[in-house]
Structure 1
Amino acid sequence: MKKTIVVILAITSFVFLSWKVSTPADSSIGATHTLEQFKNGMDNFVLSNEQLHSAVGNLNPDSATIAEARKALVECRLSYKRIAFLTSYFFPSETRFYNAAPKFEVEEPTLELVEPMGLQQIETLLFDDDVLAQKADLLVQSEAMLSSAGDMHALLFGIQITDAQVLESVRIELIRMSALYISGYDAPMLKSGIAETLEATNAIRDVLQPYFATHPEQSRSFEILLANSQNYLKAHPHFDSFDRMAYLRRFALPMQKEFRDFVAALGMVINTTKYLNYEAPYIYSKDALKGWENDSIAPPRQKALAEMGRILFFDKSLSGDASTSCATCHQPQNYFTDQLKKSPSLVRDSVLKRNTPTLLYAGWQHTQFWDGRVASLKDQIHNVIFNPLEMNGNEASLNRNVLLSDKYRTLIKASFLDKNLRECGIGEVSEALTVFLKQLSPMNSPFDRYIDGEQTALTDRQVNGFNLFMGKAQCGTCHFPPFFNSLLPPLFEISEVEVLGVTTTDDFENPQLDPDSGRFDLYKMKYYKGAFKTPTVRNAAQTGPYMHNGSFNSLAKVVDFYNKAGGRGLSLSVEEQTLSATPLNLSDHEAEDIILFLESLTDSNIEKLTFSN
């Protein structure tokens, strides 16, 4: 492990020293000031790493030394959060290991392994049952961090940055704060997320001072919100009791909206991201993200494709024996599920391998199926239609029995312009169904209405449930806003998979590990054994039974499973479990509040989504 880290650092240092560009322009408003703040932040980060390394070296059987090392790690994390938005924006590949996930990451498609390293891995080791046994690894990790931090100034060698880039880095950090930092995503055991959010806020305010000074009228609303946010974070530092909903509604989301308007007023809008829509007010807005399938289709064709997809969705002729449509298992009246543990297959007296998930919000994932084996809805549709266990369709029957029928003739001409009808097949069917499925994202639940300002849309207990979900219960560290699925903020470029140690039934007194290997069946990497995609919990109150195998019959059992810390918490052998093996210690009342919050994520008028526009 030590050799690996040294190699990574050597490569990184080479990249640092090889990069030479011109100096910043003198005409900038705040770019030069930002670089100075960055340099000061780097110095503080080096100092905090020195103190952390010293504290790790002092570890001994006295428990006070462990407490000191954890305190030093908190300070190191705080110093990192003062510069994190700049390092993440300007140097994402060179600095990502500072705060990488504390687990082996598999780089696809090469299947190269990235070892756990950095601040999160140090946290994991400092909270091990036997910290002293981890001292050697802790020293390796802290030495690597210290060495790399010392090289950080080389990042700035000749660099040129613009005001627009500075402002975009702040915009992205505001999303990070509201979606990740307050949930404790990268410090779940230290529970330093609120303090880290404050440090990030302080850093943003310092960096933006020149912009406020030169544009006082345009910046006034945002600057007031920023200052009030600082005061609120200072006054409410305790992680478990922090009112995340109040923070979001009063400060974080209004700041995103005001900052959008501020940057637009300055005429400095740039968007270097693939999926963020900077015209949306905030990250919980329905249009916060740009789609990644069929997103640039002209409106008339889009409408025709959606209508064609809607009709196809209910058409049993898609299946080989004309017995099964998409709606057979994905029933609109049941929130696009069938409420079965596992759906029947086309082979008599057999069932499919996994539970049928809802199609609501399915378009907002970068991988499809429980094991993430395909990268798009189009590929998923192709797979399902031709799968002999699911629909058993074929290309010839699609053209002869489906696409050449009178009910599709006009729609195909409008959807595929001058294409010969006899040339149409699974590609056209998949595209039309994809456009229809992308519409199944209503975001009109009581939660959404509350976020948008409808004060009576949620009860106090549902608000508390959200605060627990995004805090003490750690649900929000895997079910990310705004879709509460595996789509990772702030850039939403990847969908994560997790190993939970799911059991065969919800009898936790006599637990047995489910034998389904999940993503391991695709890639024979032990870190994928039992790995599955994290589904949305929007509409979860209506889409049971739960988990990839349909083994949990109620939300109460789901919450209880997580409260008990998954398979490992139930004393099962789940070597690569990514879910923390530390019980959550939720009270019965707290568990009930989380369920009440999940019920508030239930959308209304679902069946109307299948009507023609």
Structure 2
Amino acid sequence: MGLLLICLGTILGLRTAPEPQAAVRISAYFKENALAFSASTLALKKSISQLDENKNSLLQAKEALKNCRLQYKKIEFLMDYFFQSSALIYNRPAKTEVEEPYMEYQEPSGFQVIEALLFEDHPLQHLQDLKAQAELLSSSAADLAALMYQFEASDAQLLESLRLELIKVMALSITGYDAPELKSGIAESLTSLKAIQFMLEPYVKEKKVAMPLLSLQQSIDYLSLNQNFDEFNRMVFLKDYALPLQGELYALSAAIGPVLSVKTALNEQTGNLFAKNAILLDHFPQETYPAEKEARLAGLGKKLFFEKSLSGNLSRSCASCHQPEQYFSDGLKTSLAFDGKSHVKRNAPTLLYSAYQYVQFWDGRAGNLSSQIKMVMANPLEMNADHRLVVERLEKNKYYQQEFEHIFQKGSGPSIDHVAQAIAAYLKTLSPFNSAFDQYISGKKNTMTSKQVRGFNLFMGKAQCGSCHFIPLFNGLIPPYYKRTEFEVLGVPANDNFNRPLADTDKGRYDFFPISYYQGTFKTPGLRNVAMTGPYMHNGAIVNLQKVMDFYNRGGGNGIGLQLGNQSLSSKPLHLTKKERNEIIDFMKSLTDGLPE
């Protein structure tokens, strides 16, 4: 890394004066690999132009795409960190995304689009689109060197880019996130780690500090010897190689100092992606207070969580639909409505780990927990409460009056905003991280069964679950920055008879943002405690995890025969055997926590 920092002294504007040889070497590294990547895009363009009915031409195009991706991985850590907008040209998801709150459309482009088209049943039907994407790649890659004009970076920035690249390897590459059909993720991970190694070696020599060469070389050796994507043992790689490497890489960064961590919600001081506080709660859009005040506020919020005077009829509380003994869900398809007879529109998800989200509700219409709580209280189908009357009731309660004044300001008394903040503070405490999986990944050997470990490897690989339910939270927070919550169109039916599926009429996020790409879109939920919180999906239509796995195995809504033009989940069957599906379910059971007190 020091190499890159040093040798890009003139090019990158590094703060440490580089030795001439190191500077030349680093500069040469980037120029050489940018040039090699550009050449690979031209080779890809040529192979796509030669596509015909001959199957070999298709195989050659796929191989050219794989090589192009591998060449890009050599410079990915720089591109993604320093030139994010340019990087999106090359490796943007193969679906239209909407940049909120500006509602700017990001059309799919690059490797992932080409991969999706090449692996269609009839790729020649998409020849013009393939050619257009190949041209986009080659023309953009030809100008990569221009990105370095007057470029400046600090040691800390460059070290952070390498640490984030390792997170991408751990959480994305080995899952096949951006190359699900090519299944080149293991080879790409190897390329990424070799790039990290090359950048670090001279940097460490110049700084004369201990370097994580041992774990890094061991990780590289393990990847080199285990290239089969479906059979790759992700648990061994993470537990025995990548996590130790993460800790050592942070230690290296700290020794050089300062450690920069401005682009991510990660708490890198843990040096472990699976540490209990590896992702910082204060990065999420919710009010935070000093520790003592936050603790007392959470205690007040816990009492308010069970307080029936927050409802319009004095008979319901938050716990009515989010019951602690039911893992803060209610076990129903959709919860009972305020009248006690009808039902609300959607399934009540668990509140465990709910604080680790950038938006709330299935459709993401609430920007934080406090907003969600106030909406639920006022909703006629849920708690049907008048905020003003709720405050008046609390003002008459001496305990609440004193607690609010003590926590906030004397004479202030209860307010609906403070009520919501208190309950939100309580919800922030509902993140136990004490499951069998958490214990196993931290070093306790006997907390998971061999079937559960095999299930984890399938979850993170062949089954592609980990490419939407990202580690370490197994929810929709997208690595490596963990700054955005993912939404998907799965095509969930209104019933779980997949031989005769009924189309669901719920428009999802479209009702909140009425744009076509959000039709039927829902937030990716967390899977921690999933074995205890059925039935499943936004509508509670799927009764058990066996059915859930069957749904995904068939290719979602399109795979079971529904006609969805915007399904973001792949429609292709996963070809998981019954044994494999059961092993994945066994793994998901290992994500069950002991309930908070």
SS at match of 1:60: coil
Measure, in 1, the Cα distance between the counterparts of 2:256 and 2:406: 42
Bigger shift: residues 304-313 or 344-353: 344-353
Which residue of 2 is the match for residue 596 of structure 1?
586
Q: Is the contact made by 2:11 and 2:27 (CA closer than 8 Å) also made in structure 1?
A: no
1:403 positional shift: 4.0
1:118 positional shift: 0.6
Q: 1:295–1:238: structure 2 CA closer, same or farther, 3 Å change rule?
A: farther
Corresponding position: 1:432 with 2:422:
yes
Q: 1:403–1:85: structure 2 CA closer, same or farther, 3 Å change rule?
A: farther
Measure, in 1, the Cα distance between the counterparts of 2:481 and 2:391: 40
Q: Is the contact made by 1:545 and 1:551 (CA closer than 8 Å) also made in structure 2?
A: yes
Corresponding position: 1:40 with 2:35:
no
SS at match of 2:105: strand
SS at match of 1:347: coil
Which residue of 2 is the match for residue 524 of structure 1?
514
1:404 positional shift: 3.6
Q: 2:161 aligns with which of 159, 169, 174?
A: 169
Which residue of 1 is the match for residue 439 of structure 2?
449
Measure, in 1, the Cα distance between the counterparts of 2:230 and 2:14: 43
1:575 positional shift: 0.8
Measure, in 2, the Cα distance between the counterparts of 1:399 and 1:117: 52
Q: Is the contact made by 1:367 and 1:374 (CA closer than 8 Å) also made in structure 2?
A: yes
Corresponding position: 1:199 with 2:207:
no
Q: 1:25–1:326: structure 2 CA closer, same or farther, 3 Å change rule?
A: closer
SS at match of 1:113: strand
SS at match of 1:342: coil
Measure, in 1, the Cα distance between the counterparts of 2:137 and 2:355: 39
Which residue of 2 is the match for residue 14 of structure 1?
none
Which residue of 2 is the match for residue 104 of structure 1?
96
1:419 positional shift: 4.6
Measure, in 2, the Cα distance between the counterparts of 1:274 and 1:267: 18
SS at match of 1:336: coil
1:35 positional shift: 4.1
Corresponding position: 1:64 with 2:53:
no
Residue type of the partner of 2:571? A
Written as runs of structure 1 = structure 2, the 5 A alignment for 1:124-143 is 124-143=116-135
Percent identity over the alignment is 44
Q: Is the contact made by 1:333 and 1:607 (CA closer than 8 Å) also made in structure 2?
A: no
Q: Structure 1, residues 271-323: CA drift from partner, whole Å, max 9, x if none? A: 22251212112111111112224564112211110011000000000001101
Which residue of 1 is the match for residue 5 of structure 2?
none
Q: 1:39–1:591: structure 2 CA closer, same or farther, 3 Å change rule?
A: same
Structure 2 unpaired stretches of 5+:
1-9
Q: 1:306 aligns with which of 285, 289, 298?
A: 298
Measure, in 1, the Cα distance between the counterparts of 2:286 and 2:339: 34
Corresponding position: 1:320 with 2:312:
yes
Q: 2:465 aligns with which of 472, 475, 480?
A: 475
Aligned CA RMSD, in angstroms, stands at: 1.6
Which residue of 1 is the match for residue 455 of structure 2?
465
Measure, in 1, the Cα distance between the counterparts of 2:541 and 2:100: 30
Q: 1:381–1:36: structure 2 CA closer, same or farther, 3 Å change rule?
A: farther
Which residue of 1 is the match for residue 107 of structure 2?
115
Q: 1:313–1:26: structure 2 CA closer, same or farther, 3 Å change rule?
A: closer
1:525 positional shift: 1.9
Q: Is the contact made by 1:70 and 1:126 (CA closer than 8 Å) also made in structure 2?
A: yes
Q: 1:133–1:399: structure 2 CA closer, same or farther, 3 Å change rule?
A: same
Corresponding position: 1:214 with 2:206:
yes
Residue type of the partner of 1:270? L
Which residue of 2 is the match for residue 184 of structure 1?
176
Measure, in 2, the Cα distance between the counterparts of 1:371 and 1:31: 50
Q: 1:145–1:226: structure 2 CA closer, same or farther, 3 Å change rule?
A: same
Which residue of 2 is the match for residue 232 of structure 1?
222
Q: Structure 1, residues 24-62: CA drift from partner, whole Å, max 9, x if none? A: 456147777544322222111101101100100110000
Which residue of 1 is the match for residue 267 of structure 2?
277
Q: 1:274–1:201: structure 2 CA closer, same or farther, 3 Å change rule?
A: closer
Measure, in 1, the Cα distance between the counterparts of 2:175 and 2:579: 20
Structure 1 unpaired stretches of 5+:
1-19, 609-613
SS at match of 1:279: helix
Corresponding position: 1:249 with 2:239:
yes
Residue type of the partner of 1:597? F
Measure, in 2, the Cα distance between the counterparts of 1:397 and 1:503: 40
TM-score (norm 2): 0.95
Corresponding position: 1:506 with 2:506:
no
SS at match of 2:267: coil
TM-score (norm 1): 0.93
Q: 1:532–1:321: structure 2 CA closer, same or farther, 3 Å change rule?
A: same
Written as runs of structure 1 = structure 2, the 5 A alignment for 1:544-563 is 544-563=534-553
Q: Is the contact made by 2:394 and 2:401 (CA closer than 8 Å) also made in structure 1?
A: no
Corresponding position: 1:491 with 2:484:
no
Q: Structure 1, residues 131-167: CA drift from partner, whole Å, max 9, x if none? A: 1111111000000100000011000012122222111
Q: Is the contact made by 1:212 and 1:223 (CA closer than 8 Å) also made in structure 2?
A: no
Bigger shift: residues 464-473 or 259-268: 259-268
Residue type of the partner of 2:262? T
Q: Is the contact made by 1:478 and 1:485 (CA closer than 8 Å) also made in structure 2?
A: yes
Q: 1:102–1:290: structure 2 CA closer, same or farther, 3 Å change rule?
A: same
How many residue pairs match? The answer is 584
SS at match of 1:352: coil
Q: 1:230–1:412: structure 2 CA closer, same or farther, 3 Å change rule?
A: same
Corresponding position: 1:158 with 2:153:
no
Which residue of 1 is the match for residue 571 of structure 2?
581
Measure, in 2, the Cα distance between the counterparts of 1:32 and 1:86: 18
Q: Structure 1, residues 331-384: CA drift from partner, whole Å, max 9, x if none? A: 000100000001111135311000000000100011110011111111101100
Q: 1:35–1:345: structure 2 CA closer, same or farther, 3 Å change rule?
A: farther
SS at match of 2:269: coil
Q: Is the contact made by 1:499 and 1:579 (CA closer than 8 Å) also made in structure 2?
A: yes
Bigger shift: residues 162-171 or 135-144: 162-171
Q: Is the contact made by 1:28 and 1:162 (CA closer than 8 Å) also made in structure 2?
A: no
Measure, in 1, the Cα distance between the counterparts of 2:257 and 2:24: 19
Measure, in 2, the Cα distance between the counterparts of 1:600 and 1:26: 48
Residue type of the partner of 2:109? M
Written as runs of structure 1 = structure 2, the 5 A alignment for 1:322-471 is 322-347=314-339, 349-421=341-413, 424-471=414-461
Measure, in 2, the Cα distance between the counterparts of 1:24 and 1:278: 23
Which residue of 1 is the match for residue 257 of structure 2?
267
Measure, in 2, the Cα distance between the counterparts of 1:134 and 1:328: 52
Q: 1:163–1:443: structure 2 CA closer, same or farther, 3 Å change rule?
A: same
Q: 1:413–1:232: structure 2 CA closer, same or farther, 3 Å change rule?
A: same
Corresponding position: 1:289 with 2:275:
no
Measure, in 2, the Cα distance between the counterparts of 1:580 and 1:218: 45
Residue type of the partner of 1:252? A
Q: Is the contact made by 2:235 and 2:453 (CA closer than 8 Å) also made in structure 1?
A: yes
Measure, in 1, the Cα distance between the counterparts of 2:23 and 2:388: 61
1:112 positional shift: 2.9
Measure, in 2, the Cα distance between the counterparts of 1:331 and 1:25: 55
Residue type of the partner of 1:176? K
Q: Is the contact made by 2:264 and 2:480 (CA closer than 8 Å) also made in structure 1?
A: no
Measure, in 1, the Cα distance between the counterparts of 2:512 and 2:568: 19
Q: Is the contact made by 1:184 and 1:477 (CA closer than 8 Å) also made in structure 2?
A: yes
